[in-house]
A = this chain, B = another copy of it.
Amino acid sequence: MGFKHLVIVRFKEDTVVEQIMKGLEKLVSEVDLVKTFAWGEDLESPEMLTQGFTHAISMTFDKKQDYTAFQTHPNHVEFSASFSAAIEKIVVLCFSSVQVKPAIA
């Protein structure tokens, strides 16, 4: 099912999130290594559940080596500088996704 890269983030208060996401969308559209990319902003979960995190970002790669290559890709390195500066707090998880539903054909 490929290699999943999941980011949960809370941005600093003065962050223009739209601008960050536009940059991220540009980045993944330029780099073929990224096979899927989606993001979203939490709608209305209670603070007790979100722990203050507001955004989720999800990417899929064919294999771990592609993820590693993406991390060191010049476009990613450039984007990371502005992204990192905007982060209030973050969780990053990487895993081989176990897709249960829909069942794998």
Contact = CB atoms under 8 A, between A and B. Distances in A.
A4 B40 contact: yes
A98 interface: yes
Contacts of A42: 93-95
B36 A91 contact: no
Contact of A94 (B1, B35, B44, B51): B44
Interface residues on A, range: 35 or more
A90 interface: yes
A4 to B, nearest CB: 6
28 contacts: A4-B38, A4-B56, A6-B56, A28-B100, A28-B101, A35-B101, A35-B102, A36-B102, A38-B97, A38-B101, A39-B97, A39-B98, A39-B100, A40-B95, A40-B96, A41-B95, A42-B94, A43-B94, A43-B96, A45-B93, A49-B90, A49-B91, A50-B91, A50-B92, A50-B93, A51-B91, A53-B91, A58-B58
